Structure 1
Amino acid sequence: MNAFVPLARSTLYSPVWLVPFDDHARRVRSAGVDVALDRHQEGEGWLPQDVRAVRTPSGAIAFPGLGRRAEPWNARPELHRARFAARGLLPLYPADGEPYAADLLGVEFLVHPYDDGHPPTVTVEPRLVRLLPSTAFPYAPGTRTVVGKVVDATRPGRPPVANALVEAVGSTSRDLADWHERTLTDARGAFRLSLRWEGEKATEDAADETFRLMATERPGRTGALVVKLPEDAGLQHVIEIREQ
């Protein structure tokens, strides 16, 4: 992983501006976040690039000067991707509003060639890269969590599904405030999801709360599970992925 360098030099054009966002804490986070850059070469796949990321004062990550060359009119746009890593966190690569797919392993973007006489014509907007808690995330003491595993119910032996999105949504009963908790499975298909907010209750004074968990591998490949707390606290839950 490449370390960040401060934005001390001239602010050249960057083909991408990425803002790491701690989804659990609901805040921008750049400290402790590493970024690696790859370039796609037809016939060879993704090739690591020795290009250092720059962290701007606002917390965005950029690659100033990437794509700058002597004769840009003889070059074609090249596909790149940025891969994020942070202790206790896993990156969620689809942009907000885009469908989830577990095989997306970076933020992909085109790098257009340019020089001083031929500036880029493509407008670049900052984009959030959400970082979700992993199974090793240091939740605050007392945080309610459920643990389990996501498996592929359509294959023999029900193998684990890595990098599956596990989430729960709901709203509080008193002020009807919407909440959304989510995490990603690790290489073993394991997950640990926090449930900080109130679940569904049969009555206002009921002790049990119901949560509906959804796991997604890609569009059309999902699974669901109902968890009741505190009744199901401490159990190892299994979410089965099937074709929908």
Structure 2
Amino acid sequence: MFVIQDEKYYNKFGVFRDRIDAGNKLANLILKNLDVDKDKTDVVAIPAGGVPVASAMAKKIGLKLKVLLVSKILFPWTTEAGFGALSMFSDFELNEDAIRYYNISEEVVDVQIKKTREKIAKRLKIIPKKFLIGEGNKVTFIVDDGLASGYTMLVALKSARRFYDKIYVAVPTASSHAIDLIIKNCDGIFCINLRDIYPYAVADAYLEWHDISDEEMLEFLK
């Protein structure tokens, strides 16, 4: 287990022009520090924001692009922050500290999990099957556009172990808290912009930031 970062971007803001730029910089960091066997390695994206990052990265390194559907279990009052995550294989993790802090009832937790499951089911219908994670190579990089709490990546790692012997996490930006949460569940982490400044927001690493729609995600997969 290791964490490779770019020291010149530690605790910096506005590091990337956009997600494509982030994917290209991530590819450079990986190629500089790891001998990648292109015949045995995949890039697995977490939709939707992770897809453009992974697409650029896969193209630059010369790897196949796959998708692993994992989604935040959102707080009922926001479309951004969550208290856990759920995958297409029904693996999930709950942030019990957040649930207690906001005094979220079991009923609300169940409702939000149901909504997350429905969101994943909808995406499963629109993403071409050839892109969905399945039996394939021995090694993978799991990619998202950034890690705030780390719970989405934690669930992704749990699900990806069904298919890969060696799993690296590759993210443009992450909080130190998220890195601490996932480090024991992967074989190594590549993160350009590590930040231990609170509060942490993924968007602060990007000059251009917008939510990636399902339509835009499909264009990147094409």
Q: One fold, TM greater than 0.5? A: no
Provide TM-score, normalisation by structure 1: 0.23
Report which of the two has the higher share of helix.
2
Considering Cα pairs closer than 8 Å and 6+ residues apart, tell me whether 1 or 2 has the greater RCO: 2
